[in-house]
Amino acid sequence: MNLLFGRTISLQLRLSVAVVLSVLLIFGDRYTQGGTLVRTSLHTLVSPLLYFANVPYEIFDIGAKSLHTRDQLRQENNLLKEKQLLQSEQLQQLAFLKKENQELRALLNASARQSNTRLIAQVLSVHSNPYSHQVVVNRGTIDGITEGQAVIDEMGVVGQLAQVGTTTSRVLLMTDITHATPVRILRNDVRTVIEGIGKINSLKLSHVPHSLDVRIGDVLVTSGLGGVFPEGYPVAVVTNINRDEGLPFAQVYAEPVAQLDRIRLLVVLGKSAQETLSND
Amino acid sequence: MIKRSYFLVALSIFFALVMALMPLPISAEPFRPDWVLLVLMYWSLAVPHRVNIGWAWITGLVIDLAMGSPLGVNSLTYSVCIYITVSNFQKIRNFSIWQQAVLIGLFLTLYHLLQFWLNHFLLDIYFSPHYLWPAFTGMLCWPWIFLLLRKYRRQFRIR
């Protein structure tokens, strides 16, 4: 057994090399942007690990599903059918309204609304960095998604794609402390920006003047500014307003519409679908 | 023979990685011990001429990528912790298991403070004492990990 380090590189040297490399990595990661090839391939490298770690959850999930009784399934099926009937009725209206809206916009010489491509993604149940809010989804560059695409669920906005690998990618939730979303108040169209404060059920409106017309219960929808989130998706509902004149801005807090702590299926919104609209 | 022992060490680290990434009930999440660091610490005490800072750095990088933390943070903190255990392995080996556990708990606390400090600069987080729970649970887990991995090492004659 060779326990003497004399014949190999000394520990101190190894530590210094490791520290220097780590610091280079930290700064390199912090001060470069975008989905570079290096980042994508590094992210791809750990995808198998993520899929493997997700296996136990999937097994439990399948087990739980196979324990459903026939009655439960039938009940659920009936409920879903009713829901679909109601929604398809609304959809018929939507097609008509959409066409009308398009014609009215054409009359006003306004630009046509863009429609988005959509892709359904499933959240992989893996543990993420406890200091930030993010989830992993089972889609990547082979499904044609890129960094910065908006992600929503059935209720409202969830976040945006932060890192994209070949088969998995990371969604930065809008409650993360580094995330901000341009929104407007649905009631009176006032534009503002809402940012995460690191709590899963709370967001804060930034730089709100005391005189701003905002009330508890106001719905905030994406404003479409900034180019990441398409216009009109619900983001949050105002829950708490503190107009303390001693502070430079009013403190306005809102609760996300999407239930961010129990997301499972998500929709990734594509960016460029102008051609499809102009073709119809 | 040497290649085989490296493979076996890598296998144990792989399982620790899976344990670290596996979802837990949300109430148990703050108490999840740092499985990967504990396993690395065991190997650095048992076979310090094979597993030391290089392994720690690479494993830290894999953890960073898999957990989505800023790249390099875990590499740095793992390297520092493993440096401490490797440079004192002869002293630490002579302690009884529970004394070792207390020492490991101290190292884990150092790891979490370093981790917090780096993330404070990179992500603007603020300290809350429950960030230190994993150090405590890791300390309680150490004897079992130690015994399990010692059995594993003796069974497969990793030297």
Q: Which residues of B touch A53 (CB under 8 A)?
A: 17-18, 21-22, 66
Q: Looking at residues B75-89, what average pLDDT do you find?
A: 93
Going by pLDDT thresholds of 50, 70 and 90, the confidence category of residue A268 is very high
What amino acid is encoded at B94 in this protein? N
Query: Which tokens hold the place of A130?
Result: 């406890």
Task: Give me the pLDDT at residue A278, please.
Answer: 38
Q: Which of residues 48-107 of A touch B (CB under 8 A)?
A: 49-50, 52-53, 56-57
The pLDDT tens digits for A139-186 are 988 888 888 899 999 889 999 998 888 889 999 999 998 899 999 999
Residue-level length of chain A:
280
Position A221 scores a pLDDT of 93
Q: Helical H runs in chain A?
A: 11-31, 37-45, 47-66, 70-107, 274-279
Distance to chain A for B75, nearest Cα, Å:
6
Q: What is the pLDDT of residues B111-141, one digit of tens each?
A: 999 999 998 888 777 888 888 999 999 999 9
Residue A279, pLDDT above cutoff 60: no
* Contacts A–B by Cβ distance under 8 A: 126
pLDDT at A35: 55
Residues 6 or more apart whose Cβ sits within 8 Å of residue A203: A174, A175, A194, A195, A196, A197, A235, A236, A253, A254, A255, A256
Q: Which of B18, B24, B123 sits opposite A131 (nearest CB)?
A: B123
Pick the more confident residue, A1 or A103. A103
Half-sphere exposure of B68 (CA within 13 A, CB side): 27
Q: Choosing among A43, A49, A199, which should be mutated to test the B contact, i.e. which has the most B CBs within 10 A?
A: A49
pLDDT at residue B12 tops 80: yes
In one letter, which amino acid is A17?
A: V
Cα–Cα distance, A105 to A92 (Å, whole number): 20
Q: Give me the number of domains chain B comprises.
A: 1
Would you call B22 an interface residue with chain A, using a CB distance cutoff of 8 Å? Answer: yes
Q: What is the pLDDT of residue A117?
A: 82
- Whether residue A275 is predicted with pLDDT greater than 50 in this model: the reply is no
- Higher-confidence residue: A3 or A128? A128
A28 has a chain B CB within 8 A of its CB: yes
Contacts of B128 by beta carbon, 8 Å cutoff, 6+ apart: none
* Residue of B21, B81, B86, B87 for testing the chain A interface, max A β-carbons within 10 Å: B21
Q: Which of A131, A173, A263 to mutate to test the interface with B (most CBs of B within 10 A)?
A: A131
Cα–Cα distance for residue pair B24/B149, rounded to 1 Å: 23
Q: Is A30 on the interface with B (CB under 8 A)?
A: yes
List of domains in chain A: 42-113 (no CATH), 180-261 (2.40.10.350)
Closest chain A residue by Cα to residue B158: A1
A3 band by pLDDT with thresholds 50, 70 and 90: low
Amino acid occupying residue A130: P
Nearest to A176 by CA among B132, B17, B33, B70: B70
Mean predicted confidence (pLDDT) in A29-40: 74
| A29 contacts in chain B (CB < 8 Å) | 70-72
Residue A201 CA to residue A180 CA, distance in Å, equals 15
pLDDT of residue A103: 87
pLDDT digits (tens, 9 = 90+) for A218-237: 999 999 888 889 888 999 99
In this predicted structure, the answer to whether residue B5 has a pLDDT above a threshold of 90 is no
**Residue type for position A165:** G
Residue A6: predicted pLDDT: 52
Determine contact: B159 vs chain A, CB below 8 A.
yes
Give the ipTM of the model, two decimals please: 0.86
Q: Which of A25, A45, A170 sits opposite B72 (nearest CB)?
A: A25
- B140: contact with A, CB 8 A cutoff: no
Give the pLDDT confidence score for residue A274 in this predicted structure: 45
Residue B61 at interface with chain A, using a CB cutoff of 8 Å: yes
The residue ranking higher by pLDDT, A29 or B86, is: B86
Closest chain A residue to B122, measured at CA: A30
* Domain hosting residue B109, numbered range: 2-156
